[in-house]
Structure 1
Amino acid sequence: MNMASILTLYSIIFVILIHTKAAFVKVQCTTESVGQYGQQSLLDCNVKHAEELSDFQIRVVVWKKEGVDEPVLMFNKEEITSQPGFQFAEPSWNNRNMNVSLLITNIKVVDSGAYTCMVIRNTGDDMSDTNLKVTAKYKVPTISSIPEKITLNTGGSLICKSDGGYPKGEIRWFDEYNTDWTKSAKMEAKQTTSGLFQLSSELTLLQGSVFSKYICQVFNASGGKEAETTFDISDVINKNNTIEEENSRTELPFHFVARTVVIGSVIIGLLLALLISKRRSRCKYPQPPIMFLVRISIFFSNHIIMKLYNQTFGAFAGVM
């Protein structure tokens, strides 16, 4: 028998032995699990056997993550050793418990990846693979503008930021008519030391083509919208208009009072001039000119008007 025949025979015997062991024990794990960043996640695995055995006993359980040398969890020689954050899902697990699921207590981005669970029993051994996907939801975005005040007639830039998400997401821009302006914006994504992403997108607004409302929306890696924020440019315009209207309302009473005082003062001055003129006509003293009396009345009217002006705008300045 040549060497090739011997190798073939050994291969057949090895396959038969493997299938014989697998007939006694089977490890079944869920294909994939999704865990939320900072929360708990379960990698579900259970041991199955072909027939009921009263003396079955698990000798070794090894949970290993792809790319990591040391097992994240291991049961061997009646002892359990594990890395921080990894444990059996069953708190009181023992070597007769067929639930060998792995519990990750505080999921981090680095925990994502492929895992292998291997079980050795007195009746045989088997292993199974599962995959963990880690996700994190992005925070509600914030929008700032350059310059700080943008009107419909001026240009500028809007900057939208959101962080705390995983995997890498996307920021999209829309106007008040739901027109997509994302292609006109420039987005950057930075990964922090925790593995989470920071997204930033800048949208340039051209002078003369500015809409009154812009919406920044954050989408996750699967294309689902997670949050949005609206930037209303009309708020800036209305704020400026409101200040002007308040100033107009403040000036209006003063002008009305001033005109009333002037007209009233002139009328009163004329009446006084006539009254004095009549009284003087009865006396032998020379009569003062009427225009002189009118000028005196106008002088006192102007004095009253300036006093009202100072009081009104002095009080307004105190309020501001």
Structure 2
Amino acid sequence: MSALIDGKALARSVSEQTAETVRGLTERLGQAPGLAVVLVGNDPASEVYVGRKVRECRKVGMRSTEHRLPAATDEADLLALIEDLNSDPTVHGILVQLPLPDHIDAGLVLDAITPDKDVDGFHPVNVGRLSTGTGGLVPCTPLGVMMLLDTVISDYRGLDAVVIGKSNIVGKPVAMLLLEREATVTVTHIETRGLSEIVRKADIVVAAAGAPGLVKGFWVKEGAVIIDVGITRVALPDGTTGLMGDVAFDEVQHARAVTPVPGGVGPMTIACLLSNTAKAAALSLGEARHRLSV
């Protein structure tokens, strides 16, 4: 029977640490650290995500401001708002909720956020800092993945890790973080041949393909540690719907440890967003180095 890696419990612990950090920052800043959340349009899932982020932000003592714009908002107007937030000293973190409407270039908008306020960690400067091992603000989900792994693994040197999925948001950053720990990393994608054989050799499996039930039990060797980033709503036999990860959970009980879906990576993503916002506030005071240990 594999051990469950409890993302909810770890997220609570990370948020408690962030709340303590925020109390100190509030005293030194003269006000609570501030996160600006920008939502364009009324995508239902985005509405839910933004609501959760704002609530959790306030729980740790941060200020949160919402900028809700209509779906027809012009790209230039959105960029002007980003510029205003960049220059506002009371805003320490900026989060633009994705997806954006089709007429807006998401890459252009994310690139417009100043790197030290880019709490999502998507700006090319932060990506470059990560790839060269000089830190910056690390994308929230990959940061959460590493924290979850750290509850089980103390020494990554020489371990074989497979990352399933090469997205800029999860797959590539996770691979770079694992490389920083001296793991031997293989990144797979939709064109990878012999995926099951590759996964079968892995000590660590990070599944982030968005393909429910992709990783079967016979793919996973005994004693592997599995982080399931995927989460997809699927139809159930009884006619209802439910959430499923990329891993066939019931088939991997021979693994050393595995994250559940839900309750694994998801809570950590928001906890790491709060942690990043606190770090961005510290950067504004010159108190945080760009290098970040995870």
TM tier relative to shorter chain: under 0.3
What is the TM-score of this pair, normalised by structure 1? 0.18
More strand by share: 1
Q: Looking at CA atoms only, which structure, 1 or 2, has the larger radius of gyration?
A: 1
Comparing both chains, which one has the higher relative contact order based on Cα–Cα distances under 8 Å and sequence gaps of 6 or more? Answer: 2
What is the TM-score of this pair, normalised by structure 2? 0.19
